[in-house]
Amino acid sequence: MDDQLQETPNYWNSVFIGAFIVAIATTIVGLIMLYYLAGAEPSMSMMIMSGLLVPVTCLVGMFGGIIAVRHYAKTFDITFKMGTGALIGLFTGIAAALISGILGQLWNMIDPALMDNFSNNMISAFENMDMPAAQREETISRMMENMEAQKAIGGIIKGVLINAVVLGVVNAISGMIGAKIFAAPDEE
């Protein structure tokens, strides 16, 4: 029994490496977008961003599972099933969401005005939008409620939980893909 347990090397080091990379990447890209939106002219055009930044935000969060599985397979030079890859990816995604949440809160302490500037600019953008006055008021009111809720402890925890579920799921899938690429036996 002990021999069987020792056969599977510990994967937590790989999980945290994958999680840190994803958390730092998503946090940096998210902050760049926030600064852009907080500093832009309050119009609909500020929501329409172009260039390299917008497309790269897509998929960044998905690569944690692949990175962690690759690190695990290469470090120990082993092959394993997709289920193991899914598990490593799942833990990587959850850890990435937690780390990303902590980094986000730390940045809020460094620059507390950022979220207020972002909120004000978004509200100004909606005030300039061409829509019926009643709908505009309702939208702005709901947006302000949402933003206030997101600042509260409950809102922060809810955000981290949503991200943990979503990143956990997509990284479990990318972990399976990683297992097929880096850890599948040759004959497969």
What does the binding site for other proteins look like in residue numbers (CB under 8 A)?
A: 26, 30, 33, 47-49, 51-52, 54-59, 61-62, 81-83, 86, 97, 100, 135, 139, 142-143, 146, 159, 162-163, 166-167, 169-170, 172-173, 176-177, 179-181, 184, 188
Closer Cβ to other proteins, 76 or 161, answer by number: 161
Q: How far apart are CA 71 and CA 91, in angstroms?
A: 14
Minimum distance from residue 85 beta carbon to other proteins (Å) = 9
Closer Cβ to other proteins, 113 or 181, answer by number: 181
Long-range contacts of 129-134 (CB under 8 A, 24+ apart): 129/44
Q: How far apart are CA 70 and CA 93, in angstroms?
A: 15
Length of the chain as a residue count: 188
For the chain, the distance separating the N- and C-terminal CA atoms, rounded to the nearest angstrom, is 28
Indicate left, alpha or beta for 51 from its phi (over 0: left) and psi (-120 to 50: alpha). left
Closer Cβ to other proteins, 13 or 116, answer by number: 116
CB count in 10 Å sphere of residue 17: 18
Minimum distance from residue 175 beta carbon to other proteins (Å) = 11
Minimum distance from residue 161 beta carbon to other proteins (Å) = 11
Minimum distance from residue 71 beta carbon to other proteins (Å) = 18
